[in-house]
A and B are shown apart, each in its own frame.
Chain A
Amino acid sequence: MAGTPMVKAESVHKNFGRLEVLRGIDLEVAPREVMCMIGPSGSGKSTFLRCINHLEKIDAGRLSVDGELVGYRQQGDKLYELHDAEVCRKRSEIGMVFQRFNLFPHMTALENVIEAPLRVKRESRAIAVDRGRRLLERVGLAEKVDAYPNQLSGGQQQRVAIARALAMQPKLMLFDEPTSALDPELVGEVLDVMRGLAEDGMTMVVVTHEMGFAREVGDSLVFMDAGVVVEAGKPKDVLTSPQHERTRTFLSSVL
């Protein structure tokens, strides 16, 4: 694999109190790669995703995004904690989409999308609005720019949330079970948007239960259980001929 990996995890550990949530995660995501993560709930996949975006701090190991350590700065062999401002800057380069959308309910779809470009990147309003409209159009919501989130269906809200993350022109997109809170008939429209993103070469880490999506769109698939990566590889290989008993059991219960 040439060049710096977009995400590189080496023996990443994380515990909440005495509960070990991540017990040594090693993996790499190359630029333009779409990595899907599957596993039973409580296996640590969401926590790992949140660690990438500084929403959780790791307790041991090394985690870096685009060649830079997450949460720390290394000088010699000493680690220094990052200042809030630096953490904010790094987060602004990573887009994140949540299971429960988390759109800002007091803002219209367009306002949701342009908020961070205006306030964080201090872009001019004209530029932010222009890009915001184009992004909403891209996710198929051109006519919903002035709608408030509660006037939108779950699928529409999630598409606005994707547009909101894209508005910051991130180099990496994290998806935390983006379709798990949706009615079954609305899942497709969100996956279509994500498929389009993948085709455009966006680097994506997707925690999902959508095996079809993982198989068709994913470049790699990681199966996690109890805080470790049990199995990783090409989606087709992992899904059709899993090597581990634990993977087989999980897959047979969800497929």
Chain B
Amino acid sequence: MADAVAQRPEAIKAVPVRHPGRWVAAVVVLAIAAAIVYTIAAAIQSDLTAYGSGWAAVGHYVFHRLILQGIVVTLELTILAMVIGIILGVILAVMRISPNPVVSTVSWFYVWFFRGTPVLVQIFFWFNLNLILPHIGIGIPFTSIWWQVSTNTLITPFMAATLGLGLNEAAYMAEIVRAGIISVEHGQTEAAQALGMDRLLVMQRIVLPQAMRVIIPPTGNETISMLKTSSLAFAASVTELFTRQQQIATATYAVLELLIVASIWYLVMTSILTVGQYYLERRFGRGTQRGLPMTPFQRFRRMLVTFHAPPPATQAAPAVLPSEHR
């Protein structure tokens, strides 16, 4: 038995299984993609605009001042709406699981209403609120303490769009956060309670941090979605990216060219968000996996390496954390 270790047979060197089908599929897919891209590219090339060919117009407008200004507004809208959505969503989710029936019913009703009506309708509603409510005020009944402001001053078009998008988003975020809270094992709450922590502390220190792992991927998804949904602010005449390209397109007749310009920017922004989301997930995965998951770059590299190899079995991720156990 002792020399069984010494007599370890040499490592297996076998001819790997070939996968010709993968190469055929790659060629076919590439051919179809090339045909589609070429057709559209050529059509735009032959389109005559004020700047020459269609591509010249795209090149002219892609860094145009008005477009760049529109991008800034789009980003502002997205960030503000998501901030409102996330903060209100967390509050609504915690309210929803509250033992207080009044509080949980309010939350249920909010989600039912704001998830049940189109966001476009909600933006329009805020935008046109001044038609029925010229002034908005608060005061204390039976006293002369009264503060009011003209609705048009308070709810600018930008504000109407932010409110519409943010309040609607809160309803979706509430459900996402609630799913995250439910996903945390009940033993965690019990252990925290047994240490004397109250409901708020348990939520804030123990449950929510762990729920983040479940909350972040769909929230990233929502943010990416919001970046594009913010184009509905068009309805409130907010000059964000979509409205800007629309205005220029109407003036120059370079309709498809400007849609391409807008699409390029939407793609750039969503791509950046996708990468950001990835690193956020790694951050909150702390303590839940033995090793950190691979970065997109590491995965891409592996994909190149394994393209003609058999599908990789669940290969251990590179261990960054010291993983000596037992």
Contacts and interface: CB of A to CB of B under 8 A. Distances in A.
Interface stretch (B13-21, B101-109, B194-202, B272-280): B194-202
A119 B188 contact: no
B205 interface: yes
Interface string A134-167: 0000000000000011111100000001001100
Interface of B: 185, 187-188, 190-199, 201, 205-206, 209-210, 286-290, 321-326
A61 interface: no
B198 A150 contact: no
Contacts of A96: 191, 194
A206 to B, nearest CB: 15
A245 to B, nearest CB: 36
Nearest to A147: B322
Nearest to A115: B205
Given A92-B195, A106-B210, A153-B325, A148 B190 contact: no
Contacts of A120: 195-197, 201
B325 A151 contact: yes
The 7 A-B pairs at the shortest CB distance, nearest first, are namely A92-B196, A102-B191, A116-B195, A96-B194, A148-B287, A102-B187, A120-B196
Given A55-B190, A119-B205, A151-B322, A106 B288 contact: yes
A60 interface: no
Contacts of A164: 195
B190 A102 contact: yes
Nearest to A91: B196
Contacts of B194: 53, 55, 91, 94-96, 98, 165
A98 B287 contact: no
Among B193, B196, B288, B289: residue with most chain A CB under 10 A: B196
19 contacts: A55-B190, A84-B198, A88-B193, A88-B197, A88-B198, A90-B196, A100-B187, A106-B286, A116-B195, A116-B196, A119-B197, A119-B205, A120-B197, A148-B286, A148-B321, A150-B288, A150-B289, A165-B194, A168-B195
Interface in A93-137: 93-96, 98, 100, 102-107, 115-116, 119-120
A2 interface: no
Contacts of A90: 196
B184 to A, nearest CB: 10
A149 to B, nearest CB: 7
A116 B194 CA distance: 10
Given A106-B286, A106-B288, A85 B198 contact: yes
A168 B188 CA distance: 17
Given A102-B187, A119-B205, A151-B325, A84 B199 contact: yes
Contact of A106 (B196, B197, B209, B322): B209
Contacts of B188: 102, 104
Interface residues of A, number: 35
B190 to A, nearest CB: 6
A89 interface: yes
Contacts of B201: 119-120
A106 B207 CA distance: 10
A148 B319 CA distance: 14
A96 B197 CA distance: 13
Given A94-B194, A164-B195, 7 more contacts: A55-B190, A85-B198, A90-B196, A93-B196, A98-B194, A116-B195, A150-B288
A98 B289 CA distance: 22
Contacts of B205: 115, 119
B191 A105 contact: no
A168 B288 contact: no
Given A104-B188, A120-B201, A55 B196 contact: no
Nearest to B321: A151
Contacts of A98: 187, 190-191, 194
A187 to B, nearest CB: 14
A95 B210 CA distance: 23
Given A84-B199, A119-B205, A151 B191 contact: no
A138 B166 CA distance: 52
Contacts of B324: 151
A115 B209 CA distance: 14
Nearest to A119: B201
Contacts of B185: 102
A92 B202 CA distance: 13
Given A84-B198, A102-B187, A151 B193 contact: no
A88 B201 CA distance: 11
